[in-house]
Amino acid sequence: MSSLPPEVALDGRIRRQDGVLAQEAHGQTVLLRLDDGGYYALDEVGALIWELCDGRRAVGEIVDALCAEFDAPEETVMADVLEFIGDLRRERLLAVDAA
């Protein structure tokens, strides 16, 4: 298993930040940060992870859900999810609440 970025605890609950709007847009999902108008596009997999970040699931549960959806090794999925969550945390789109 890849090492965790220090800011993401495995048992932390991942949630979408307030003030971020999302909309499906022709096969992609556009995220808009309302406070400064910054926007981002997620592909299909990114959109699925975004949906799973509902404030109730921890990283492990998100990985489990993705492994059930896609035929991919858990280690690879975990690395991708952590990178995704780290990127979106830095962009103030996701937050991690302590368990």
Partner 1 sequence: MTVSSLPPEHALLLDAIAPLDQARADRQAWDGGRWGRTLRIADWHRLSPTLYCHLESKEEHAPAAVLSALERAYLAAAARSLFLAAARRQVVDALAAADVPAMLLKGAALVETVYSDPAQREMLDLDVLVPADRLPAANAALAALGYRTLPADDDPEGARSHVHAAEHHDPALVGEQHVVAVELHHHVVIAGEGAGFDIDDAWQRARAAPGATHLLPAPADLLLHVCLHFTRNRLGGSYRRRHTGGALGQICDIARIVEHEPIDWDALAAAARSYRLDARVFLALFAARELGVPVPSSALADLQPPRFDPRVGRRLVSLRVLRTGEGLPVRTVRWMLAPSREVLSRGWEADPSATLSLARAYLRRARAHAPGARSALRRPWSVVQDRRLNGQIHALEERA
Which spans of this chain sit near partner 1 (rule: CB under 8 A)? 21-23, 25-28, 30, 32, 34, 37, 39, 41
Instruction: Find the shortest distance in angstroms from Cβ 29 to partner 1.
Output: 9
Question: Least distance from C-beta 26 to partner 1, angstroms?
Answer: 5
Minimum CB distance to partner 1, residue 17 (Å):
15
**CB closer to partner 1 out of 9 and 22:** 22
Angstrom distance (rounded) from CA 9 to CA 67: 19
Q: Cβ closer to partner 1: 13 or 29? A: 29
Comparison of 1 and 34: residue with beta carbon closer to partner 1: 34
